Amino acid sequence: MLTKAQWQGCLEVMEEMFPDAHCELIHSNPFELLIATLLSAQCTDALVNRVTPALFAKYRSPQDYLQVDVEELQNDIRSIGLYRNKSKNIQALSQMLIEQFAGEVPNSREALVTLPGVGRKTANVVLSVAFGIPALAVDTHVERVSKRLGLCKWKDSVLQVEETITKKTPMNLWNKTHHQLIFFGRYHCKAQNPNCLSCPLLEVCREGKKRMKKLSST
């Protein structure tokens, strides 16, 4: 198992590899972060970032999203996929924010997950990035990376992985950790053909060492 110090070392190395990873989800306010995160489902942020500048210039508040027909909103986000669900959710969510949360994005998980289209992962991103609250969205990349490195056991559930990382990550790294893990997992520690040969974390990585051993024996 990876120690807390080793884990922090890994996070620092990931930051050196992808220094601007966390910039992709920096937004001027929690509401824009919430919308951008919701749009990110099943597509990359690079794709989302192509529509958000125009989107956020046009819609600045929950009220703004309610002043157009759903078809118009669909057209504004069509290129990212899953646009029917997402448009519907954004309008329903805007309505709820106005009626139940005084137009503000709530800062508790219990409240966030009651919003349509917002599940645990989206809620955790908003909590950590917008409010600095320790919460980590565990997707396939985060799960794979933490298990390969040896931070978690292979049989751990998603919730167990989340608990372990939450426990071992220092407060000052909360707004970055998720994005560093995502980038590291997506572009380096890939699901297929991970680049172990050039990996700076090879010395501490459980799976990496195993793969190298196998490679040298054949």
Partner DNA sequence: AACTCGGGGCA
Partner DNA sequence: TGCCCAGAGTT
- Select 115 or 204, whichever has its Cβ closest to DNA: 115
- Select 78 or 153, whichever has its Cβ closest to DNA: 78
- Active-site residues, by number, are 121, 139
- To the nearest whole angstrom, how small is the minimum distance from the Cβ of residue 74 to DNA? 8
Query: Binding site annotation covers 152?
Result: no
Is there binding between residue 119 and DNA (CB under 7 A)?
yes
Q: Any idea what the Cα angle at residue 41 is, between residues 37 and 45, rounded to 5°?
A: 60
Is there binding between residue 42 and DNA (CB under 7 A)?
yes
Burial class (CB in 10 A: 0-12, 13-18, 19+), 40: buried
Distance of CA 206 to the CA centre of its chain: 24
- Cβ contacts of 72 within 8 Å, gap of 6 or more: none
Query: For residue 60, what are its two tokens?
Result: 């600045």
Query: Binding site annotation covers 10?
Result: no
Q: Specify the 3-state DSSP secondary structure of 43.
A: coil
Is there binding between residue 193 and DNA (CB under 7 A)?
no
Which contiguous run of DSSP H or E holds residue 210? helix 206-217
Site for DNA in 133-172 (CB under 7 A): 139-141
- Select 138 or 196, whichever has its Cβ closest to DNA: 138
Stretch that binds DNA, among 51-59, 72-80, 160-168, 210-218 (CB under 7 A): 72-80
Short-list 85, 50, 53, 55, CA closest to 70: 85
Stretch that binds DNA, among 36-44, 56-64, 167-175, 197-205 (CB under 7 A): 36-44
- Judged by the rule CB under 7 A, the positions of this chain that interact with DNA are 24-25, 40-45, 47, 78-86, 113, 116-123, 139-141, 179, 182-183, 186, 191
